[in-house]
């Protein structure tokens, strides 16, 4: 690794302010100057291996995944807020619970959730104020959170506790970002009580979920939601998941499940709003669907809409980088990595790599309509790759398609924004997406 191009700790410190605000331009400059793979020294004597090479990504996430674990940013720093669930767990603990939870996200089970998802989306979209510019990122955040909430707790009146839970997860994330990008200030975060305050909030979130679980168990009525699927899941010895572990898994589903979807939807709607012709093409596509509505085969009937979502996630992948730590010495793409090396894989850079994408920085709505999946499978990873690929990828795919369809059928979209500013947190967010929704029935009446 010593032979790789190098970014010094001094350069990192010199750019600390801009890295805290948005690290992507700093990383892009290094990739442009140093190539697809380089090493970077992080203050605190940490050596990191940074890459946008598709071969490196495939080896670390797929072929040689057993040589790597998630870094302590997730297994320790994030876990202290949301527990040891699928996103933050490692080793046998992760394998046991992945195997246990996976059936809840099989397509046959998702089929039973489509009605719940659709109803939650329709209810949230009724909150739109027509003909007034609003921040759609906030709307999509609420929508995605309520879809997860209703899919988990379909029989509960949960809007008020879910609003509190959503605020806590966002506050915890802001603190974690500061810890991650300013590790040299961790002593201050601890000494000033900032971390303790966030941990108290995290416990309040656990208490909210514990109460909802207790209410479900006391009610003793079966539902077709995710919570019942998780309550009924069993270990190999037939025992049930302990309450603490169940709460950990629920927190993961809320924290990771709603935010990535809200981000992808916001970016998608921004690009659609900028192209009136595209909207009419999408309108024709969704209104010509089979009369049976949105079933499991629906995605095949809306290739253009699905392409728009895929293209938005190409340009702005929710998981814009993936981190790993080497568990032992090993070789990746001819490079020797020592045990303990921190590996950072940039999906943002790979998805914009000029060697693999035509006009990589442009939104091309029908890009994926004309491409076979096998032609881009090696350099397109919107949900990660390998055994730790996002367990909710099918859930999110149907949710996003449903939401965009409902909006396209009922509104025309417009925006006064020429560009969109990003806010890289744990996932890649937009700072704001201001859109105007004009009801289609108003257009026909005016005509």
52-446 folds as Cytochrome p450 (1.10.630)
Question: What confidence score (pLDDT) does residue 290 get?
Answer: 65
Token digits of residue 143: 């929508």
Q: How far is 276 from 323, CA to CA, in rounded Å?
A: 39
Nearest alpha-carbon partner for 138 in 443, 441, 423: 423
**pLDDT over 90 at 269, yes or no:** yes
Lowest mean pLDDT among 91-100, 145-154, 300-309, 371-380: 145-154
Counting every residue written for the chain, the total comes to 447
DSSP alpha helices (H): ranges in 290-346? 303-315
CA gap 204, 384 in Å, rounded: 31
- What secondary structure letter does DSSP report for 103? G
pLDDT digits 0-9 by tens, 162-216 = 889 989 988 998 898 888 778 778 889 989 999 999 999 999 999 999 998 998 8
pTM: 0.90
pLDDT in tens, 323-378: 999 999 999 999 999 999 999 999 999 999 999 999 999 999 999 998 999 999 99
The order of strands in the sheet holding 37-42 is 6-7, 37-42, 46-51, 342-346, 321-326, 68-69
Rounded CA Rg of the chain:
22
- As to burial, measured by CB atoms within 10 angstroms (0-12 exposed, 13-18 middle, 19+ buried), residue 145 is buried
Helix axes 91-101, 243-273, angle to 10 degrees: 70
Pick from 220, 223, 176: nearest CA to 82: 176
Q: Which of these ranges, 30-39, 41-50, 151-160, 415-424, has the smallest mean pLDDT?
A: 151-160
Predicted local distance difference test score (pLDDT) of residue 447: 40
pLDDT recorded at residue 444: 45
């Amino acid at each position: 690794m010593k032979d790789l191009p190098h970014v010094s700790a001094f350069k990192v410190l010199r750019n600390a302010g801009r890295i805290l605000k948005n690290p992507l331009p700093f990383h892009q400059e290094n990739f442009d100057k140093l190539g697809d793979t380089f090493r970077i020294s992080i203050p605190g004597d940490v050596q990191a291996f940074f890459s946008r090479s598709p071969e490196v990504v495939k080896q670390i996430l797929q072929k040689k995944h057993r040589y790597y674990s998630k870094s302590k940013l997730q297994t320790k720093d994030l876990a202290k807020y949301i527990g040891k669930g699928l996103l933050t767990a490692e080793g046998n603990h992760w394998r046991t619970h992945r195997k246990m939870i996976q059936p809840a996200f099989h397509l046959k089970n998702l089929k039973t959730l489509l009605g719940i998802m659709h109803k939650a989306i329709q209810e949230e979209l009724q909150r739109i104020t027509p003909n007034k510019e609003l921040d759609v990122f906030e709307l999509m955040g609420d929508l995605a959170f309520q879809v997860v909430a209703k899919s988990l707790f379909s029989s509960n009146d949960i809007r008020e506790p879910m609003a509190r839970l959503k605020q806590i997860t966002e506050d915890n994330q802001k603190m974690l970002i500061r810890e991650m990008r300013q590790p040299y200030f961790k002593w201050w975060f601890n000494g000033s009580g900032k971390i303790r305050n966030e941990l108290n909030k995290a416990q309040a979130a656990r208490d909210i979920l514990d109460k909802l679980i207790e209410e479900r168990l006391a009610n003793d009525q079966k539902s077709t939601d995710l919570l019942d699927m998780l309550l009924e899941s069993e270990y190999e010895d037939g025992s049930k998941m302990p309450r603490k572990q169940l709460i950990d898994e629920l927190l993961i589903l809320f924290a990771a499940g709603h935010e990535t979807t809200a981000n992808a939807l916001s970016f998608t709607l921004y690009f659609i709003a900028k192209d009136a012709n595209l909207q009419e093409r999408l309108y024709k596509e969704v209104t010509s669907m089979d009369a049976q509505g949105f079933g499991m085969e629906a995605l095949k009937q809306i290739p253009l809409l699905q392409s728009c979502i895929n293209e938005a996630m190409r340009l702005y992948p929710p998981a814009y980088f993936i981190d790993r730590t080497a568990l032992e010495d090993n070789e990746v793409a001819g490079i020797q990595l020592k045990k303990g090396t921190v590996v950072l894989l940039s999906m943002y850079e790979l998805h914009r790599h000029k060697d693999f994408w035509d006009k990589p920085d442009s939104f091309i709505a029908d890009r994926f309509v004309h491409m076979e999946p096998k032609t881009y499978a090696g350099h397109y990873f919107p949900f990660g790759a390998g055994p730790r690929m996002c367990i909710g990828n099918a859930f999110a795919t149907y949710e996003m398609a449903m939401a965009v369809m409902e909006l396209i059928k009922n509104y025309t979209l417009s925006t006064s924004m020429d560009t969109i500013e990003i806010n890289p947190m744990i996932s890649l967010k937009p700072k704001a997406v201001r859109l105007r929704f004009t009801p289609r029935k108003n257009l026909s009446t005016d005509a």
